[in-house]
Structure formats: C-alpha cells, structure tokens
Homo-oligomer: A and B are copies of this chain.
Amino acid sequence: MRQLQMRRTTLKDLAEMLQISTSTVSRALKDHPDISSAVKMKVKEAAETFNYVPNDFAVNFRKKSSKVIGLIVPEITMFFIPSIIKGISSVLNKEGYHFFILSSNDSFETEKEHIETCINSRVDGILISLTNETKDCDHLKKLKEMEIPTIIFDKTVPQNIFESVIFDNIKNAELCAEKLIDQGCKNILAIFGDENLEITQSRLISFKSSINQVPEINLSIIFCKSANLVKEKLDLLLDDDSIDGFFAMSDETLMGLHSSLIKRSLNNTNRKVVAISEGTLPKYLDETYEYQINDGYEMGTFAAIQLLTSIKKEASGTHETETAIHQI
C-alpha cells in the first residue's frame, strides 16, 4: 500500500535547496524576529514557488493541539442544526478551527461513544447538546478529568458540571402567553413536545402560570414527541372551532399544528397562533402567526465563543471549573 497522497514539499526540502537549516526555514516562514529579512524573502519565495504547505499532522503532533472541536448533537433536525452550524462556523472558522459533527440519534449509548471518539481524536474542545435519554453528566466526567474544555448547549440536565448556554425558556413561554392573553383568547390549546425534557418542563410551567393569572381562560395542554403526532392528535381534537388561541412550544410542534390547521381550512379563521421558534422556517408558514424567537445562530456563536475562551484558559493554565449557565 502506497502513500495516500503524492509527496509534498517539506521544510527539509526547502532547507536543502536553499542550503540553510530547517530551523531557519521554519522561523523565516513565521516571521520570527531573529531572522534577517533577506533570508525571509528567499525562504518565502521558495515556499511559494515550490508550493510548500505545512503538514498539519506534524504541527498538531508537535504542538499537541488539533484546532479541531467536536460538535455532538442529539439529532440532525432541519429546524435547529443549520442555524447552529452557521453560528458555530462563523466564529470557529475565523479562528482557524474546524469541527466534526457527530449525531447521537437520540441514543445515550451513541452519545457516550461520540465522547470517546472526541477524546481519541484529541479534539481541543467539545460542544454538546444532550439527548432526551441523558439524565446526568456521569459520562462527561472523563472530559473534566482530561481537562477537555466543554460547553453544553440547548439541551442540558439539572446537575450540570460544565458551563452551558441555553435559551431563556421561562421568558419566552411567558411572552407567548401574554400575546395570547392580549389578543383576548379565551379557549387556548397549548402544544408541547417530549414531556420528559427539561426544556419542555420549564416552558410548560412558565406558560401555565402566566395563563392561569387570567381565570376566565380555558387552557388545554397536549404533549407530542413529533410533528406527526401533533397532527394526528389535532386531527381528532379539532372537531369544533371553539379554540381561539394556539401555543406551540417549538418549530416541530408548530409544523404539526400548521399542517392540521391547513387541512381543516382553519388557517384563516379567527384564531391566534403563537409559538417559540428557531425562526428560519416559520416565516413562510402564515403571516398571521406570531413568534418568540430562539435564535440558533446566536446560540451557536455564543457557545463557540465560550468554548474558545475556555480553551484559551486551559492553555494558559487557569483552572477555574466554570459551570455558569448563560441564558440567551
């Protein structure tokens, strides 16, 4: 088995051609102040003409830093992933970092494997959003031991051992409730996702308590794990038009709701729809819907910046065990 790729020009090659040492070439290439500008010129020219490209493997190996971070997500959804990727790329690429995407497919076991993978491939840091199955952070402890900077985002668990970035679920649910109240809705149907999720619970509690402050409102609540389930349930539920206000806690639940409303031609009747949403998609659904936006792009950038910060701290030897929770 031969080499995977054609042999490339190395530092040594340049050194031999110019009859100087590799150390000098190395330093010249990175504008080290010790090197005379004459030599720098020569070296850079040669590097240019011979198409020299530093071998990142060797550099990483030597420096023990991969400039790679691992992104572990519970699943690849169309609502959240694209915006979060954009956000993360925008800050990481600027700093010369790359990232892998590893999807846990909603399996705790896969999540654990991915964490091992990240450790093995020597990532400089990890951004992770936990699966629905993940109940604690035990499997993350190793990361702490190995001092691998890690930020948890979006889906977290209560006993959090890392810095994390989440949306302000309380506030958003509250604002949605207020919109429905202001609209004068009296018969509200609220649609939530997976009942076991932290994010569902916090939105639920907040939404309910806001609505309950207006005693004349009649509130029904359903939980559905997928857009399809929402649709199925609603197709049965919506047999009268008495509901004048809908709340969807996410894009996914909103999609199911929209689908069902369309089917029953209820979309333009006298009812209000408000939702918590990532915001990319819903603008095309119906102009009358109102949203409280959870901006995935913003979360991505924020989390990435936090991670880079703690990578730098690690590198400089500071060892504060940050576990702050940032709400955005």
The chain A residues found within 8 Å of chain B, CB to CB, are 1-6, 8, 53-58, 60-61, 64-66, 76-79, 81-83, 85-86, 89, 93, 98-103, 117, 119-122, 124, 145-148, 227, 231, 255-256, 258-259, 262-263, 265, 267-268, 280-281, 283-287, 311, 314-317
Contact = CB atoms under 8 A, between A and B. Distances in A.
Given A5-B148, A315-B1, A259 B281 contact: no
A51 to B, nearest CB: 9
Given A77-B82, A78-B82, A259-B285, 12 more contacts: A8-B146, A53-B119, A55-B122, A57-B60, A57-B122, A78-B79, A78-B280, A89-B103, A98-B102, A231-B284, A255-B281, A263-B287
B85 A76 contact: yes
B256 A284 contact: yes
Contacts of A101: 85, 89, 99, 101
With most chain B CB atoms within 10 A of its CB, the pick from A77, A93, A315 is A93
Contacts of A286: 259, 262-263
Contact of A5 (B146, B227, B316): B146
6 contacts: A2-B316, A57-B66, A57-B122, A81-B81, A255-B284, A262-B287
Contact of A262 (B55, B65, B117, B267): B267
Given A102-B93, A284-B256, A54 B4 contact: no
A122 B146 CA distance: 27
